């Protein structure tokens, strides 16, 4: 059988797309391997979110193409198309973001660009999963928000939701395969809507919670402008839905938020935080912060730090603004210099570290329930688990504990990862 290796760059949705491609390939005449050396074909699933991600993929392609047949798929393929073919004349194929299900014909036909034109996206029910306890499921694709800095609407297309039936079938398959947790993915899961059955995101959560075997349901990402009180309440009212909301703030300055086209103010954002805290005591809130957007003054930046202090995020993904060709922000004249952007990045990292440490310390001595996900990669002989609100806890044990729930007492809580002892 022809062996294929898949290399993934970028976000969790890309990981899912790679699992989809692997599922499609495995159901055909290909064997997907975890060992790149033995593969005849290498599929590189790419990200366009920041220049850095593209640079890394470009150098990966350059190295792989020397002795493999290379297929470039995903966001960068969608964005660069002919440019990629010109840069790497030996590329076997280039596959866009609407065509993951055509990966087999891309490999078989070769030297072809496979783009758009396909209106129906097929999702195999059986994916080739990378994990054993948590299964990711993309419930919607694309984005209509057009935040001024973001390439996603251009490379992923208009927002579209999958039908509920297909999603539920995929969850049932996960349950059959022994998974305990699902995580729904989408650029803006709040606006999920299956028009055929008139099911919105709350409805999807409720229906998913009825599937036996799956004990936990997570989701990301929520857009602050669409996070209604009703949705917060239905998250809180569905026991299987984890009490963790990932809610990108981006900036704490109303002026910048407006230019970013985010459609909310810092005060609205903080009202969402208060509502979540009220409805889900002990729940977690995490965020994305984007520093160095064009024209961001020191005052704007201080307002971001202020909102971070008020919100008390459990964790933040912090990004330094990277101009993406084709987006509005890339054309703005007031681009900041690297030094300023980097200094702000470090500032935010430092503040978040302090906030996270304080939160972690408050767990010392507390009793929590964790789902063991597998061995801890750093400390030998320790297994790793995750709480409902996404805190990592390591405990002594072995592989037989994977996929099981344990009540533990936190006995160490200095760093980001806590240590626990099992309660009998």
Chain contacts with ligand SF4 (rule: CB under 6 A): 143, 145-147, 150, 152-153, 187-188, 223
Return d(Cα 103, Cα 284) in angstroms, integer: 38
321 binding ligand 5AD? (CB under 6 A): yes
Selection from ligand 5AD, ligand SF4, none that 50 binds (CB < 5 to 8 A by kind) is ligand 5AD
Considering only CA atoms, which of 214, 267, 277, 215 is closest in space to residue 245? Answer: 277
State the number of binding residues for ligand 5AD (CB under 6 A). 12
Contacts of 108 (CB under 8 A, 6+ apart): none
Which one, 222 or 373, has the nearer CB to ligand SF4? 222
46 binding ligand 5AD? (CB under 6 A): no
Which one, 71 or 152, has the nearer CB to ligand SF4? 152
User: Which strands sit side by side in the sheet containing 181-185, from one edge to the other?
Assistant: 134-138, 181-185, 216-220
Return d(Cα 49, Cα 57) in angstroms, integer: 12
Cβ contact 295:257 at 8 Å: no
Selection from ligand 5AD, ligand SF4, none that 251 binds (CB < 5 to 8 A by kind) is none
285 binding ligand 5AD? (CB under 6 A): no
Region near ligand 5AD per CB under 6 A, out of 138-146, 223-231, 315-323, 406-414? 315-323
The minimum distance between CB 286 and ligand SF4, in angstroms, equals 15
Considering only CA atoms, which of 191, 184, 101 is closest in space to residue 136? Answer: 184
- 74: alpha, beta or left, given left = phi > 0 and alpha = psi -120 to 50? left
Cβ contact 195:226 at 8 Å: no
Region near ligand 5AD per CB under 6 A, out of 190-198, 228-236, 320-328, 370-378? 320-328
Selection from ligand SF4, ligand 5AD, none that 322 binds (CB < 5 to 8 A by kind) is ligand 5AD
150 binding ligand 5AD? (CB under 6 A): yes
20 binding ligand 5AD? (CB under 6 A): no
Return d(Cα 390, Cα 117) in angstroms, integer: 40
The minimum distance between CB 324 and ligand SF4, in angstroms, equals 10
Return d(Cα 153, Cα 141) in angstroms, integer: 10
Region near ligand 5AD per CB under 6 A, out of 229-237, 301-309, 314-322, 383-391? 314-322
97 binding ligand 5AD? (CB under 6 A): no
250 binding ligand 5AD? (CB under 6 A): yes
Selection from ligand 5AD, ligand SF4, none that 49 binds (CB < 5 to 8 A by kind) is ligand 5AD
Contacts of 359 (CB under 8 A, 6+ apart): 312, 314
SS3 at position 298: helix
């Amino acid at each position: 059988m022809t062996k294929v290796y898949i290399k993934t760059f970028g976000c969790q949705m890309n990981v899912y797309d790679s699992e989809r491609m692997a599922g499609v390939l495995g159901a055909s005449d290909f064997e997907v391997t975890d060992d790149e050396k033995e593969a005849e074909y290498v599929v590189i699933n790419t990200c366009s979110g920041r220049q850095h991600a593209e640079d890394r993929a470009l150098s990966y392609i350059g190295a792989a193409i020397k002795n493999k047949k290379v297929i470039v798929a995903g966001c960068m393929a969608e964005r660069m198309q002919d440019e990629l073919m010109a840069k790497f004349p030996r590329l076997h194929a280039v596959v866009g973001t609407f065509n993951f299900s055509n990966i087999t014909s891309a490999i078989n036909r070769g030297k072809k660009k496979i783009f758009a034109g396909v209106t129906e996206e097929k999702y195999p029910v059986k994916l080739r999963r990378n994990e054993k306890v948590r299964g990711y499921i993309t419930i919607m694709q694309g984005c209509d928000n057009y935040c001024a800095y973001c390439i996603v609407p251009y490379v992923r297309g208009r927002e579209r939701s999958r039908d509920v039936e297909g999603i539920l079938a995929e969850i049932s398959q996960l349950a059959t395969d022994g998974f305990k947790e699902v995580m729904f993915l989408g650029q803006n899961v709040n606006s999920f809507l299956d028009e055929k059955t008139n099911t919105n995101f709350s409805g999807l959560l409720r229906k998913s919670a009825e599937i036996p075997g799956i004990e936990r349901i997570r989701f990301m990402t929520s857009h602050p402008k669409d996070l209604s009180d009703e949705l917060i309440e239905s998250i809180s009212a569905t026991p299987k839905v984890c009490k963790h909301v990932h809610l990108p703030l981006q900036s704490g300055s109303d002026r910048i938020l407006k230019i970013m086209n985010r459609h909310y103010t810092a005060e609205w954002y903080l009202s969402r935080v208060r509502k979540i805290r009220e409805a889900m005591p002990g729940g977690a809130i995490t965020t994305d912060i984007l520093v160095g957007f064009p024209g961001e003054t020191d005052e704007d930046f201080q307002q971001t730090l202020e909102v971070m202090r008020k919100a008390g995020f459990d964790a933040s993904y912090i990004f330094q603004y990277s101009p993406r060709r084709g987006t509005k922000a890339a054309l703005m004249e007031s681009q900041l210099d690297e030094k300023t952007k980097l200094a702000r990045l470090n500032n935010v990292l430092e503040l978040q570290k302090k906030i996270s440490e304080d939160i972690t310390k408050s767990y010392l001595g507390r009793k929590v329930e964790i789902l063991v996900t597998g061995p801890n990669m750093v400390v030998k002989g320790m297994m790793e688990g995750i709480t409902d609100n996404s805190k990592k806890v390591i405990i002594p044990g072995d592989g037989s504990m994977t996929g099981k729930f344990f009540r533990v007492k936190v006995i160490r809580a200095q760093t980001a990862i806590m240590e626990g002892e099992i309660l009998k």
